[in-house]
Amino acid sequence: MNEDPKASVLIIYTGGTIGMVKDKESGVLLPFDFGLISSHIPELQNFDFGIDCVTFDPVIDSSNMDPVMWGRLARLIEEKYEYYDGFVVLHGSDTMAYTASALSFMLENLNKPVILTGSQLPIGVNRTDGKENLITSLEIAAAKENDTPVVPEVCVYFEYQLYRGNRTIKYNAENFEAFQSVNYPVLANAGVYIRYNYNYIRKPNFRKLKVYSEMNTNILILKIFPGIKNETVKKMLETEGLKGVILETYGAGNTHTNPGFLDLLEEAIQKGLIILNVTQCKGGSVELGKYQTSARLGKIGILSGNDITAEAAVAKMMFLLAKHPLKEDVIRLLQDDLRGEVTIS
């Protein structure tokens, strides 16, 4: 869009609400051609950097996003990495936190912005939040200081807030403020000016990008609830091919102590299963042993997820199981901070 751009950004449209416009004849919302994006958002012509677009074919609802598509997205960024200064991924909001978390692990040594955004209302609707989300995401993706990207990491931008991608959760299906990052500060606030919180942004390491496009999906989430039956837990833990479990517990990592329940977990661990404890709470951290109801968990080999989100825990476990054949390496790295996804006390 600029013959001599100072920077260049690639928009990758995977699908989702943001890319919809109303058909004039039928009134039905349909995906629009992002090659004609300027006709829908003429403000983009005011930017002094280049903007290109690529669209997934077919576009997908984010509810259908899966690790195969994550791999496709990671490889596309790898393919275009040397040609662009930043990337904006347009994505449905329902699984955006999962995709942002996954990309943070799959794109090792990332030194350029990858900003995921979307909208609650289609871009073709008068009250859409999509225009502002896209325009500001592009500005952030192109931002440099001293010829260095300001935000060289995977982020989610929504409703005037920039978040670290692997710290986000979707918490609201109706309000424009759809995401939160409860356990980590926002990276930037967009008002009259974009105010970057530099102390919380990852620093570039200037190493060569390494892309891992494979994920091991032989995991499950086991959410504890009052009245859960041992028979149910047993069947889940005996799932064929199962390698890892995200155990969603109460509060600071607590479970009930009903007879036999902890024995089932211990038996599964002894057979080689990896279990990571994350809290069901939106904020806070797992502290094994703080209460009597979690004291035994650490003793039988259950790992603490500290303050990691369930979304990031899923992506991290899939990533590590695919990358590392040795169980000991997976256990060690699950307890490390790899991409700013967890606070290690």
Token duo for residue 298: 């650490």
Q: Is 117 a catalytic residue?
A: no
Pick the CATH number of 219-334 from 3.30.70.20, 3.20.20.70, 3.40.50.40, 3.30.300.30: 3.40.50.40
Task: Determine if the pTM surpasses 0.85.
Answer: yes
Same fold flag, 8-211 and 219-334: yes
Lowest mean pLDDT among 100-104, 118-122, 181-185, 333-337: 118-122
Query: Domain locations in the chain?
Result: 8-211, 219-334
Per-residue CA distances from 186 to 168, 180, 266 (Å): 10, 9, 38
* pLDDT, tens digit (0-9, with 9 covering 90-100), for 67-103: 999 999 999 999 999 999 999 999 988 999 999 999 9
pLDDT, one tens digit per residue, over 192-219 is 999 999 999 999 998 999 999 999 999 9
Q: Are strands 274-279 and 303-304 parallel, antiparallel or unpaired?
A: parallel
Of 17, 136, 168, 279, the catalytic one is 17
Mean pLDDT throughout 304-308? 94
* Highest CATH level, class, for 8-211: alpha beta
